[in-house]
């Protein structure tokens, strides 16, 4: 078993404010569920995290389950208290994805984002992000950022649906595989740097520039599955200040705020 993501291991690795306090559960249904209750009922503040070595009911976006084998993933949830109206949170997933990609790049790995909040290496998903909120009126009281990153999947029996579309750090790391507490610490530090750009409206363009530079999607032909289930094709053109994705579709430009990119094709040439 690799080094557990225990509170002691995390405390020894983290360098910033985020990650304190840390509650570690060797196994839990979902770190997001735990963090939401911790924040709502015991007042866990901004920067508090929940870590685990295994989730029995890990949640993904759109009601999907999040796969892990004990000890082979970096699994955690970060409590944020952004004091924003709900509509102001659109850039949070974009910022979190960019932070994870930047953390991967600090190891020399070509981490990129796939809108809205997947993190990929060579077009395979390495990490997923699930933001869940609790509102008071129209304002955000709690935002829990749940992140799952595939760490070392060597010897892991990966579900058939994931083999062609997912990857892990062990497969992509060019040299020595970093330990999970170190990976967690780098992600937290990157989030700590980018999160203020979400809450400070005057710095949105700075965030967008960083997010655009790591997007695997912009300039490529995509097919996006919309909220009502239809598939829309077009060229992904830009990330918008509200977190939306601008797509040049056949019937004109559209900005999507929810949806899932199902296909990506190479950057189109001049004849497209
Ligand atoms: C997705 O890509 O669909 C989002 C996946 C988010 C998974 C993480 S793992 C830690 C946290 N706890 C959960 O139950 N989900 C998130």
Domain boundaries, the chain: 7-213, 221-265
Alpha helix (H) residue ranges in the chain: 7-13, 31-42, 91-105, 160-163, 169-172, 180-199, 204-213
Mean pLDDT on 52-61: 97
Nearest partner of 92 among 171, 200, 166, 189, judged by Cα: 200
pLDDT at 59: 97
CATH architecture of 7-213: 2-Layer Sandwich (3.30)
How far apart are the CA of 64 and the centre of ligand 1, in A?
Answer: 9
- pLDDT higher than 80, residue 222: yes
Least confident of 31-40, 128-137, 172-181, 215-224: 172-181
The sheet that has 22-25: what strands, in order across it?
A: 22-25, 49-52, 73-80, 139-150, 124-136, 118-121, 111-114
Shortest-distance atom of ligand 1 to CA 52:
10
Nearest partner of 117 among 91, 151, 87, 88, judged by Cα: 91
- pLDDT higher than 70, residue 1: no
Least confident of 157-166, 227-236, 262-271: 262-271
How far apart are the CA of 207 and the centre of ligand 1, in A?
Answer: 23
Mean pLDDT on 87-114: 96
Mean pLDDT score of the chain: 94
- pLDDT higher than 90, residue 219: yes
Q: Tell me the C-alpha distance between 132 and 138, whole Å.
A: 15
How far apart are the CA of 150 and the centre of ligand 1, in A?
Answer: 11
Q: Tell me the C-alpha distance between 14 and 194, whole Å.
A: 16
Q: Tell me the C-alpha distance between 182 and 141, whole Å.
A: 29
DSSP count for the chain of H helices, then E strands? 7, 12
Share of the chain above pLDDT 90, in %: 83
Residue from 50, 60, 69, 126 to probe ligand 1 pocket by mutation (most atoms less than 8 Å from CB):
60
Q: Whose C-alpha lies nearest to ligand 1, atom 3?
A: 60
Shortest-distance atom of ligand 1 to CA 60:
3
Does 221-265 carry CATH code 2.30.30.100? Answer: yes
Share of the chain above pLDDT 70, in %: 97
Shortest-distance atom of ligand 1 to CA 68:
9
- pLDDT higher than 70, residue 80: yes
pLDDT at 176: 84
- Return the sign of the alpha-carbon dihedral for residues 215, 218, 222, 225: positive
- pLDDT higher than 80, residue 267: no
Residue with tokens 């170190």: 182
Q: Tell me the C-alpha distance between 27 and 8, whole Å.
A: 16
Shortest-distance atom of ligand 1 to CA 76:
10
The sheet that has 221-225: what strands, in order across it?
A: 252-256, 245-249, 231-239, 221-225, 260-265
80 vs 176, higher pLDDT: 80
Q: Tell me the C-alpha distance between 60 and 57, whole Å.
A: 10
pLDDT at 268: 54
Binding-site residues, ligand 1, Cβ < 6 A? 30-32, 55, 58-61, 64, 66, 75, 77, 118, 128-130, 146-148
pLDDT at 155: 86
Whether a cis peptide bond, with omega within 30° of 0, leads into 116 is yes
75 CB contacts (<8 Å, ≥6 apart)?
5, 31, 51, 52, 53, 54, 55, 58, 68, 147, 148, 149
């Amino acid at each position: 078993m690799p080094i557990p993501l225990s509170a002691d291991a995390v405390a020894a690795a983290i360098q910033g404010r985020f990650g304190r306090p840390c509650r570690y559960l060797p196994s839990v249904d979902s770190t997001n569920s735990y963090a939401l209750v911790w924040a709502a009922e015991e007042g866990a503040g901004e920067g508090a995290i929940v870590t685990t070595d295994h989730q029995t009911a890990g949640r993904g976006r759109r009601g999907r389950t999040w796969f892990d084998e004990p000890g082979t993933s970096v699994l955690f949830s970060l409590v944020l208290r952004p004091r924003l109206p709900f509509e102001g949170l659109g850039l949070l997933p974009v910022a979190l994805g960019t932070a994870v990609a930047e953390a991967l790049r600090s190891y020399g790995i070509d981490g990129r984002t796939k809108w809205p909040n997947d993190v990929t290496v060579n077009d395979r998903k390495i990490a997923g992000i699930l933001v869940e909120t609790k509102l008071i009126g129209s304002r955000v009281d709690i935002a829990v950022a749940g992140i799952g990153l595939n760490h070392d999947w060597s010897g892991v029996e990966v579900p058939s649906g994931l083999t062609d579309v997912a990857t892990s750090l062990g497969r992509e790391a060019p040299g020595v595989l970093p330990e999970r507490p170190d990976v967690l610490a780098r992600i937290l530090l990157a989030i700590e740097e980018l999160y203020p750009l979400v809450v400070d409206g005057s710095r949105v363009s700075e965030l967008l520039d960083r997010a655009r530079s790591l997007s695997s999607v912009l300039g490529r032909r995509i097919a996006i599955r919309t909220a009502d289930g239809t598939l829309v094709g077009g060229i992904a053109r830009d990330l918008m200040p509200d977190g939306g994705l601008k797509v040049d579709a056949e019937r004109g430009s559209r900005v999507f705020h929810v949806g899932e990119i199902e296909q990506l094709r190479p950057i189109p040439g001049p004849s497209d």
